[in-house]
Structure 1
């Protein structure tokens, strides 16, 4: 069984949830573009956008790692870091009274997932162990 489809599906559902939240706030403010100065809408837009910026590269790297037949445990660890990071970041930034610990921890987990996965892939290429 492959690991990444599970995380991709969960992350996709979170993305849809963030989309619905942004749409609901846009409808409430009757805005199709921009945030009209509404702080909650601005935060929803940035949470949604930030999620869309980091998740694709994270999933691509994780897919490449999994395709190299690495341990499922290692893939789960890096994928869990990405998932937890995105959830924590979204929660932290969504709050009008921002919870900086959640935002910071979320970004660190996200970036560490991307960095560690990239380093393992580079090692694989360097060592010539890529399949």
Structure 2
């Protein structure tokens, strides 16, 4: 018996490429700041502790690293569950076009979320829209899985 989930497989590959880019972005900023682990907060605390009266600590130099770390972490917090739900839907024979639209919308939501979370102030319309569309697609996938699951019990 050949079990095949080509739609989920293609989107998993695309999301994996994006994830790799996010990971490399974290490495780039960590290397630039000579930080081996974390988002720079430990280094910032050490700088503040060592500062002399009247000296200023530039907290902004860690912003890009923090944004990169959170974009990377946030991506991996949502992608696995969406891919699991999509694979289950595809295995249950969900409509191929609907699944492509669902995964396309999810992928788009993750990409625009990245642009919002990595901007200067970590806020913006794209971050909000990315979050909203991520939740919509996750909810739709979850409801569809419940539908297919309960129909199998009949």
Counterpart residue number, 2:92: 68
Counterpart residue number, 2:28: 24
Counterpart residue number, 2:82: 58
Unaligned 5+ segments in structure 2 are 45-61
Once the two structures are superposed, what CA deviation does each residue of 1:51-103 show, in whole Å capped at 9, x if it has no partner?
A: 01100001000010111111111101110111001100011111114451100
1:122 is matched with which residue: 126, 129, 146? 146
Q: Which has the larger radius of gyration?
A: 2
Q: TM-score, normalised by structure 2?
A: 0.79
Q: CA RMSD in A?
A: 1.6
Once the two structures are superposed, what CA deviation does each residue of 1:95-124 show, in whole Å capped at 9, x if it has no partner?
A: 114451100111111111110011011011
Counterpart residue number, 1:41: 65
Unaligned 5+ segments in structure 1 are none
Cα distance between partner residues in 1 of 2:39 and 2:144:
40
Cα distance between partner residues in 2 of 1:118 and 1:92:
26
Paired residues, what number? 130
Instruction: List, as ranges, runs of 4+ consecutive aligned residues in structure 1 with deviation greater than 3 Å.
Output: none
